């Protein structure tokens, strides 16, 4: 394979240009102030100091809280589904996994709009309740609607890695556990769950990453009061126009995520 060593050169150049330089640019913006010329570059911590104000800290706390809740719910609901799917015959499994994936191919915004119409005060659910003579329920622009939207959008990212780890598990291990006297529940707890942990960690990483940095779904389903890190970054770039502060927030978010990811990776290694 030595002949092909040189084939990585295009990507090395590419990665330097389109992966590394953008990060450097973000860092550069984060540590400088607006209107700084390249020649008179002076670094500042101001953007980071600003971030420590309680408002912004609250935004971060809320984002992480939401990320954790979403991840937890996706795991809680997605694991059983992945587990059940992995118990079907192989052909059915493939079909079911396909069915889980297809919605991801439909534009995320469209699905979110549909949820808005389902959950709205005069939306489909409330119309049904009305027909049944029940009082309408306020669902839109609440934690409920945001979390619902996030879970609906991100759950497949939890299901698929878990299903992969469950379906490639040697079935005889489960039989071995039964054989050694483990009840179905004990078998699950002591063998199946333990062996699916790499998939679970993968799913957690994916869902948490997506939900902590999202800005479209909270904006649409939660309204403007649903300020998350993603929204904060977006508004700094799009409406406020403070690119430096926006870059600083991006940098902080990236660093937090990378720390989180490397912790998860380490856990994963230990499990193995």
Partner 1 sequence: MSNKLIELKDLTKNFDDQQVLRGINLDIYENEFLTLLGPSGCGKTTTLRIIAGFEEPSSGEVLFNGIEISKLPPYKREINTVFQKYALFPHLNVADNIAFGLNLKKVDKSVIAQKVERMLKMVGLEGFEKRDVTLLSGGQQQRVAIARALVNEPKVLLLDEPLGALDAKIRKQMQFELKKIQQEVGITFIYVTHDQEEALTMSDTVVVMNNGEIQQIGSPIDIYNEPENRFVANFIGESNIIEGVMVKDFLVEFDGFRFECVDKGFEEMEEIEVVLRPEDLDIVAPEDAKLTGVVQNTTFKGVHYEILVKTDLRIYKVQTTDYAEPGRKVGLSFEPEDVHVMYKMGAY
Partner 2 sequence: MKKKSFFSRFYVVLCLAFFYLPILVTMIFSFNSSKSLTRMTGVSLRWYSELINNVEVARAVYVSLSIAILATVISTVLGTITAIGLSSHRKIVKDIVLNVNNIPILNPEIVTAIGLMLLFSSAGFRKGYLTMLLAHIAFCTPYVITSVYPKVRSLDPNLANAAMDLGATPFEALTKVIVPMIKEGVFAGALLAFTMSFDDFVISYFVTGNGVKNISIVVYNMTKRINPTINALSTIVIVVIIVVLVSVNVFLPKLEKRTDHIHPRVRRGVTIFLVAALCLGLIRCGSISSQNHVLKVYNAGEYIDLSLLDKFQEEYNCTVVYETFESNEMMYTKLASGESYDVLIPSDYMIERLIKEDYLQPLDWDLIPNASGLMEEVMDKSYDPGNKYSCPYFWGSVGILYDRNIVDQADLSEGWELLKDPKYKGDLYMYDSERDSFMIALKALGYSMNTVNEDEIREAYEWLVEQRDTMDPIYAGDDIMDNMISGNKAIAVVYSGDASYTISENPDMDYFTPNQGTNIWYDAMVMTRDCSETDLAHAFINFMIDPESAIANTEEIGYTSTVKSAYDAMLDGTYAEISSYLVDDSDPRNEIFGYQDPKIKQKYAELWTKVKAQ
Take residue 236 and report the two structure tokens written for it. Answer: 């700094």
List CB contacts of 51: < 8 A, sequence separation 6 or more.
Answer: 57, 245, 248, 249, 252
Shortest distance, position 263 Cβ to partner 1, whole Å: 20
- Find the binding residues for partner 1 in span 168-197 (CB under 8 A): 170, 172-173, 175-184, 186-187, 190-191, 194-195
Kindly identify the residues of this chain, within the stretch 28-67, that bind partner 2 according to CB under 8 A: 29, 55-56, 58-59, 62
DSSP 8-class letter at 32: S
* Residue tagged 């005069």 (tokens): 122
Q: How far apart are CB 31 and partner 2 at their closest, in Å? A: 13
DSSP H helical segments within 132-242, as ranges? 143-167, 171-179, 184-187, 193-213, 216-222, 229-235
Nearer residue to partner 2 within complex by CB, 176 or 258? 258
**Which of 41, 49, 76, 106 is in the footprint of partner 2 by CB under 8 A?**
106
Question: Does the protein bind partner 2 through residue 217 (CB under 8 A)?
Answer: no
Q: In angstroms, how far is the first alpha carbon of the chain from the final one?
A: 30
Q: Which is nearer to partner 1, 195 or 216 (CB)?
A: 195
Shortest distance in whole angstroms from residue 264 CB to partner 1: 18
Q: Are 221 and 145 in contact (CB under 8 A)?
A: yes
By the criterion CB under 8 A, which residues form the site for partner 1?
A: 170, 172-173, 175-184, 186-187, 190-191, 194-195, 271
């Amino acid at each position: 394979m030595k002949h092909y060593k040189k084939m990585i050169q295009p990507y090395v150049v590419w990665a330097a240009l389109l992966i590394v330089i953008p990060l450097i640019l973000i860092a550069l913006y984060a540590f400088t102030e607006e209107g700084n010329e390249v020649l008179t570059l002076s670094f500042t911590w101001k953007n980071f100091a600003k971030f420590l104000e309680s408002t912004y800290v609250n935004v971060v706390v809320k984002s992480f809280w939401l990320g954790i809740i979403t991840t937890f719910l996706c795991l809680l609901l997605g694991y059983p589904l992945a587990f059940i799917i992995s118990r079907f015959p192989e052909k059915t499994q493939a079909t079911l996994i396909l069915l889980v994936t297809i919605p991801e191919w439909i534009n995320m915004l469209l699905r979110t709009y549909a949820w808005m119409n389902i959950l709205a005060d005069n939306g489909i659910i409330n119309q049904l309740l009305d027909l049944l003579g029940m009082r309408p329920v306020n669902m839109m622009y609440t934690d409920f609607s945001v979390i619902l939207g996030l879970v609906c959008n991100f759950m497949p990212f939890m299901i698929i890695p878990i299903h992969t780890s469950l379906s490639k598990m040697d079935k005889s291990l489960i039989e071995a556990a039964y054989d050694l006297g483990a009840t179905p529940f004990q078998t699950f707890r002591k063998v199946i769950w333990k062996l699916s942990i790499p998939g679970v960690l993968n799913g957690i990483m994916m869902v948490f990453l997506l939900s902590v940095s999202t800005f479209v779904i909270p904006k649409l389903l939660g309204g403007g009061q649903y300020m998350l890190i993603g929204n904060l970054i977006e508004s700094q770039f799009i409406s406020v126009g403070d690119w430096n502060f926006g870059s600083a927030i991006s940098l902080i978010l990236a660093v937090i995520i990378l720390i989180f990811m490397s912790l998860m990776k380490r856990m994963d290694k230990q499990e193995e």
